[in-house]
Amino acid sequence: MARAAEDAGADAVSLINTITGMAIDIGTRRPRLANITGGLSGPAVKPVALRMVWEVYRAVKVPIIGMGGIMNGRDSIEFILSGATAVAVGTAHFINPVASVHVIEEMENFMREKGVTHIKNLIGGLITK
Q: What is the reported pLDDT for 12?
A: 98
Shortest CA distance to 127 belongs to which of 60, 78, 63?
Answer: 78
Q: Cβ contacts of residue 9 below 8 Å, gap of 6+?
A: none
Shortest CA distance to 84 belongs to which of 64, 100, 67?
Answer: 64
Per the CB < 8 A criterion, the answer to whether 56 and 13 are in contact is yes
Shortest CA distance to 76 belongs to which of 114, 117, 118, 108?
Answer: 108
Whether pTM > 0.85 for this model: the answer is yes
Chain length of the chain: 129
Instruction: State the fold for domain 2-121.
Output: TIM Barrel (3.20.20)
Q: What is the reported pLDDT for 65?
A: 98
Per-residue pLDDT of the chain (129 residues; tens, 9 = 90+): 999 999 999 999 999 989 999 999 999 999 999 999 999 999 999 999 999 999 999 999 999 999 999 999 999 999 999 999 999 999 999 999 999 999 999 999 999 999 999 999 999 999 998
Structural domain boundaries in the chain = 2-121
